[in-house]
Amino acid sequence: MSLQKLTDFSTYKLSILDEQGKVDEKLLPKLSNTQLVELYSHLINLHVFDEKALKLQRQGRIGTYGSCAGQEACTVGTAYAMEKQDWTFPAFREHGVFMTRGVPMVNVFQYWGGDERGSKVESDMNCFPVAIPVGSQPLHAVGCALAMRYLKKDAVAIGYFGDGATSEGDTLEAMNFAGVFQAPVVLVCQNNQFAISEPRSLQTRAETIAQKAIAFGFEGIQVDGNDVLAVYQAMKQALEKARAGKGPTLLELYTYRMGDHTTADDSTRYRNKEELETWRKRDPIVRFKTYLTAIGVLTPALEEKIMNEAVSKVERAVQAYETMPAPSPSDMFDYMYAQLTPELAEQKKNFLAHLSRVNNASSSKSGEGPGFP
């Protein structure tokens, strides 16, 4: 009889850039000054986009919107590490993944404006559309990763989800599949401490989300999600590992949702100001800016130029979104599946027949031409 320790179940946390903007030189990723500036510009673009989207929602110019304030480094840092051929499966807070990968900003506004055409991107962009069902993205990513290996493609699939999604069976099944089949996948959990009003402490008793990967036989690592350099570096290594056939990684990006869950939420009802203020001091953009300024890469003039460019980029995208010809109501059926399921085909037929009845009735009543209800 004996009691033996079977294996070492330790998990690690990676952070490179601290809250004062100081770095651990040994851990720094290899990025040129041009790349550092590019990374910073992506963060600023996203930040300006996010602020504008919140205002547009309040003015009734887009629909319900989920802000990514405070989490900018998570999406920009991971997307910046990818190769063009990699596939992304975003949830609903990954605006930064789309834009950093080159999806036009106007598409992102369109999506949040309820225009399905926004989900259609160039076919070589390998970006799946927003998927609202919590925990669905890891399954899609693992399936895609296995398909890529079967097709002998040099592509990694990346699935995004939140801390809330780790309580979903789908996420755990996806992790099991990823481990068993050593899928070339990176599972990116943005642990922003909340699933709507549910705090992380009620989501799981586990000390970290990263450690959940151990149960499925692969590596999980916690990363300071407000440190864009750590996020980039962890993602780069996870992608290289997957590409080399060495299996999946779970990245837990430890961050904080600075805004409400969406514009339909009021987070003052379930969290306190002190917590918010603590996290405000950890702002990922301010931290990176302090570092770039200290090493002489960012000057006030360059900073102003980046900000002005971001503002005009966002304004141009809003203008393009708002001056676009109206979508067809049947678009809601046409931007998800290449081929409609029989149920959806039937719904579409009934919907179009209904529209035509309504339009005929209104045009014979008013004497005006057809219009949509």
Catalytic residues: 257, 261, 270
Selection from 313, 316, 186 nearest residue 239 by Cα: 186
Interface with ligand TPP, residue 69, by CB under 6 A: no
DSSP 140-162: HHHHHHHHHHHTT----EEEEEE
d(CA 195, CA 173): 20
Collapsing DSSP to helix, strand or coil, 296 comes out as coil
Q: Which is nearer to ligand TPP, 127 or 155 (CB)?
A: 127
Q: Crossing angle of helices 72-80/33-58, nearest 10°?
A: 140
CA distances from 232 to 96, 273, 301, 325, 360 (A): 13, 30, 26, 39, 56
Interface with ligand TPP, residue 195, by CB under 6 A: yes
Q: Which is nearer to ligand TPP, 39 or 195 (CB)?
A: 195
Q: Which is nearer to ligand TPP, 132 or 151 (CB)?
A: 132
Binding mask 89-108 toward ligand TPP (x if CB under 6 A, else -) reads ----x---------------
Residue 124: phi, psi to the nearest 5? -90, 10
Q: Which is nearer to ligand TPP, 100 or 237 (CB)?
A: 100
* Closest distance to ligand TPP from the beta carbon of 68 (Å): 9
Collapsing DSSP to helix, strand or coil, 111 comes out as helix
Query: CA dihedral in degrees (164, 170, 173, 179; nearest 10)?
Result: -60
* Closest distance to ligand TPP from the beta carbon of 160 (Å): 9
Residue nearest to ligand TPP (CB): 162
Q: Which is nearer to ligand TPP, 257 or 313 (CB)?
A: 257
Which one of the spans 11-19, 123-131, 190-198, 273-281 is the region binding ligand TPP (CB under 6 A)? 190-198
Q: Which one of residues 177, 194, 218, 256 is an interface residue with ligand TPP (CB under 6 A)?
A: 194
Q: What is the DSSP letter of 90?
A: -
Compute how many residues bind ligand TPP; rule: CB under 6 A: 16
* Closest distance to ligand TPP from the beta carbon of 44 (Å): 22
For residues 122-181, which are near ligand TPP according to CB under 6 A? 132-134, 161-165
For residues 258-287, which are near ligand TPP according to CB under 6 A? 261
Which long-range contacts does 205-210 make (Cβ < 8 Å, 24+ apart)? Answer: 208/11, 208/13, 208/252, 209/163, 209/166, 209/250, 209/252, 210/11, 210/12, 210/13, 210/250, 210/251, 210/252
* Closest distance to ligand TPP from the beta carbon of 118 (Å): 19
Binding site for ligand TPP (CB under 6 A): 93, 132-134, 161-165, 190, 192, 194-196, 257, 261
